[in-house]
Amino acid sequence: MAIQFILCFNKQGVVRLVRWFDICQVDSQKPQDMIVQIYRLISSRDHKHQSNFVEFSDSTKLVYKRYAGLYFVMGIDLQDEEPIYLSHIHLFVEVLDAFFGNVCELDIVFSFYRAYMVMDEMFIGGEVQEISKEVLLERLSILDRLN
């Protein structure tokens, strides 16, 4: 599996976005419990001095990054390389930023479905489908006009 899940929560651990790509992973554990564990693990880490990678279970490691008050987390396979996923996260946030125009947590809260739309345009089935920011934004603006 590529990306097992994408998760976004704030400093208090309130989930803002969540998407499970790997059903196996979800089956073994209750998703909510897992999110709580992930939150505990990540929030306990020093985000300035510690790396953005942490091993979570024997099948998953986490790549995460904090942007203002929001943590963006991806669960990936142990044998995968972390840096590329970190750049995925960064690209995702950049696209969100451009799409919403200086994105903040409230944007994601109130139009979470649009944030999911961005996610769907960028990731499909746990795989990155588009890596060009311009193409993504163009596509998103077409989709957005439908609303």
Partner 1 sequence: MTSLYAPRMEDAKGRLRPFGIFFEKTLKDLIKGIRTNNTTPEKLQNFLTQALSECREEAASTDLNMKTNAVLKLTYLEMYGFDMSWANFHILEVMSSNKLQQKRVGYLAASQSFYKDPEILMLATNLMRKDLKYGGNHDVVKVGIALSGLSTIVTSSLAMDICDDLFVMLTSSRAYIRKKAIAALFKVFLQYPEALRDNFDKFVSKLEDDDTSVVSAAVSVVCELSKMNPAPFVVLSPLLYGILVSISNNWIIIRLLKLFTNLSKVEPKLRPKLLPKILELMDSTVATSVLYESINCIVKGNILDKDDYDTAMICLDRLHAFCDSSDPNLRYISCVLFYKIGKINTDFISKFDKLVFRLLNDVDVSIRSKAVELIEGIVNGNNLKNLVTTLLKQFVNEDVVLLQSDSTGIESREIPIVIPESYKVKLVHTIIRICSMDNFIHMTDFEWFNAVLWDISVLASDLPDKALGFKIGEQLRNIMVKVPSMRDSTLSTIIKVISYGNISNNLPSLLKDCFWSLGEFSNHIDNGDDLLELMINREHLYPPEIQKVIIPAILKVFTNWCNSAPNPNIERIEFILNGLLKYFESFTYSKYFDIQERAVESVELLKLVLEALKEDDEGLPLLITDVLPSLFNSYELKPISHGTQQKLQNTLTVDCQTPFLTEAEFQAILDQEESNIDDGSYSDKSLALDDEDYYENEDTRNERHSISSAFKEAETESDPFMKEEKESNPFYLADENEEKNNVADLLDFTDSKNTPESSVFISLTKHDSPQKTNESISKGEKKKKKKKSTTKVKKRVEIIPDEIVTDNELLATQQSNPNLITSNNSSSTINSYKGKINLKTNTKLANFDFFKRNDTDSLSPSNIDAEAGVEDQIELEKLRSRFGNQSLGHTQAGEGEEVIVIKKKKKSAKKKKTSRKKKNAVEEGDSAIGSL
State the residues that interact with partner 1 by CB under 8 A: 1-2, 15-21, 23-24, 26-27, 32, 46, 49-54, 77, 79, 81-84, 86-87, 109-110, 112-113, 116-117, 120-121, 124-132, 135, 139, 142-143, 146-147
Q: What tokens does 66 get?
A: 């904090």
DSSP letter for each residue of 31-82: HHHHHHHHHHHHHTS-TTTS-SEEE-SSS-EEEEEEETTEEEEEEE-TTS-H
Least CB distance from residue 102 to partner 1, whole Å? 20
Local structure of 128: helix, strand or coil: strand
Least CB distance from residue 53 to partner 1, whole Å? 6
Least CB distance from residue 142 to partner 1, whole Å? 7
Q: Which is nearer to partner 1, 31 or 98 (CB)?
A: 31
Least CB distance from residue 139 to partner 1, whole Å? 7
Q: Which is nearer to partner 1, 101 or 142 (CB)?
A: 142
Q: Which is nearer to partner 1, 53 or 97 (CB)?
A: 53
Alpha-carbon gap, residue 49 to 70, rounded angstroms = 18
Alpha-carbon gap, residue 48 to 137, rounded angstroms = 30
